[in-house]
């Protein structure tokens, strides 16, 4: 099986998703059978684990010239590589990739994952409705949709957007003992100031402005707040409260250290697809304070491994902290790690994704693993 992955922007979750999916597919099908097409300017976001052929296009921003560059390189790559599966990641890759292949005589099978639906938000605007219409129009040119959380299944049903195949493959991340933190607190830890950590882009989606508003309303010294991330999208200015510790973007190993130092991670997102950073936090054995929207009610059990917040209500942070202080934080850390082990392991995700590919793949296709399984079955028979 030959697979082409296409992503219009790697910033944030898509790069992490590739680092989970690509190594597995390379091990299954071989290094020459997997290609990723990404912006040249984002190439460095891919870690060394993405060991396959990487094609790039020039991206100067989210504009027509960049979209045209992606279109050209996509058509060139599909013509020379002749993939069996084209896996499109993100809204704009999904639009360009499906339009570019819609009327090809021998078009590859198209797998699409939005990662976060542009119309999944409470403040419905004209452009959001436009994207909803576009998705409905392009659905017939999608051989399979990959939904990464149960929330996405429900959302599409509510919007009456139907695909030939809609497979639920809940996102996961591989386990790594180096990322597992000690959940046992020392006596000094148990009595010290509660330490919160925010990780993400400084954009409207992630709700950092809401967090800062709430943080400034707290009595001084009640909690400490550290922030990892940076601004990505244009527009708006983020003013930092005086007592916030800013780290910027940090390497993955440094991020693990910061998560280990925190008592909890806070994610006041206005909308989400399936944030992999939440799974990293659970893997590390840390509870999450998260908005009660989108995938979070499926990721967290309220007051067991996290606290769900109504970010539309003034005082939501104080309310969440009041609840958290009355809970057994040590027990919540244990439950967070348990939730990762039970639901969000990367091996489970990769095998489910491979099974989904095979639903639409041509009968002649197979992987190294499937050929070995056939051979083993014949021997047993």
CA-to-CA dists, residue 249 to 12, 199, 289, 310, angstroms: 11, 9, 21, 27
pLDDT at 381: 34
CATH code matching the domain that covers 177-343, chosen among 3.40.50.300, 3.40.220.10, 3.40.50.2000, 3.40.390.10 = 3.40.50.2000
Q: Which two tokens stand for residue 190?
A: 């148990």
pLDDT tens string 59-69: 998 899 999 99
Q: Would you say residue 103 has pLDDT above 90?
A: no
- Helix intervals (H) in the chain: 13-29, 64-81, 91-101, 126-138, 150-159, 187-191, 208-217, 252-261, 276-283, 296-299, 316-325, 329-343, 346-360, 368-380
Q: What integer is the mean pLDDT of 219-241?
A: 80
Q: Would you say residue 372 has pLDDT above 60?
A: no
Q: Strand 306-309 to strand 166-168: parallel, antiparallel, or no bridges (unpaired)? A: unpaired
CATH architecture of 3-174+346-380: 3-Layer(aba) Sandwich (3.40)
Do domains 3-174+346-380 and 177-343 share one topology? The answer is yes
Q: Give the Cα separation of 108 and 361 in Å (integer).
A: 9
pLDDT tens string 291-345: 999 999 999 999 999 999 999 999 999 999 999 999 999 999 999 999 999 999 8
Better pLDDT: 289 or 242:
289
pLDDT tens string 152-207: 999 999 999 999 999 999 999 998 755 555 554 544 455 568 999 999 888 888 99
Q: Are 330 and 184 in contact (CB under 8 A)?
A: yes
Task: Name the β-bridge partners of 167.
Answer: 146
pTM for this structure?
0.84
Q: Which two tokens stand for residue 42?
A: 């984002």
Q: What is the DSSP letter of 355?
A: H
pLDDT tens string 20-65: 999 999 999 999 999 999 999 999 888 888 889 999 999 998 899 9
CA 181 from centroid of its chain's CA atoms = 22
Q: What is the DSSP letter of 173?
A: B
In the chain, what are the domain boundaries? Answer: 3-174+346-380, 177-343
Query: Three-state DSSP class for 309?
Result: strand
Q: Which two tokens stand for residue 61?
A: 């921003």
pLDDT at 236: 58
């Amino acid at each position: 099986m030959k697979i082409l992955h296409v992503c219009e922007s790697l910033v944030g979750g898509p790069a992490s998703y590739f680092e989970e999916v690509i190594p597995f597919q390379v091990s299954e099908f071989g290094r020459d059978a997997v290609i990723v097409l990404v912006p040249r300017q984002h190439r460095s976001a891919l870690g060394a684990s993405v060991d396959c052929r990487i094609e790039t296009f020039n991206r100067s921003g989210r504009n027509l010239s960049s979209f045209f560059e992606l279109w050209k390189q996509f058509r060139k790559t599909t013509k020379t590589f002749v993939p069996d599966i084209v896996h499109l990641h993100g809204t704009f890759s999904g639009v360009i990739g499906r339009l570019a292949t819609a009327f090809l005589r021998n078009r590859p099978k198209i797998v699409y994952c939005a990662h976060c639906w542009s119309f999944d938000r409470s403040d419905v605007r004209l452009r959001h409705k436009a994207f909803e219409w576009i998705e409905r129009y392009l659905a017939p040119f999608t051989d399979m949709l990959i939904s990464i959380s149960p929330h996405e299944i429900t959302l599409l049903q509510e919007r009456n957007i139907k695909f030939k195949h809609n497979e639920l493959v809940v996102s996961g991340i591989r386990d790594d003992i180096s990322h597992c933190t000690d959940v046992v607190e020392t006596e000094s830890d148990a009595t010290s100031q509660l330490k919160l950590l925010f990780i993400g882009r400084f954009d409207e989606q992630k709700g950092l402005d809401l967090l800062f508003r709430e943080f400034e309303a707290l009595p001084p010294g009640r909690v400490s707040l550290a922030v990892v991330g940076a601004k990505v999208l244009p527009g708006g200015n983020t003013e930092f409260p005086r007592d916030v510790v800013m780290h910027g973007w940090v390497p993955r190993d440094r991020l693990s250290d910061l998560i280990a130092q925190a008592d909890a991670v806070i994610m006041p997102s206005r909308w989400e697809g399936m944030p992999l950073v939440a799974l990293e936090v659970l893997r590390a054995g840390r509870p999450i304070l998260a908005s009660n929207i989108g995938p979070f009610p499926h990721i967290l059990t309220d007051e067991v491994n996290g606290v769900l917040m109504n970010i539309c209500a003034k005082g939501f942070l104080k309310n969440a902290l009041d609840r958290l202080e009355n809970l057994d934080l040590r027990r919540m850390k244990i439950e967070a790690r348990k939730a990762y082990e039970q639901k969000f392991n990367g091996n489970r995700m990769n095998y489910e994704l491979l099974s989904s590919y095979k639903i639409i793949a041509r009968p002649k296709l197979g992987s190294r693993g499937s050929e070995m399984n056939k051979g083993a079955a014949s021997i047993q028979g």
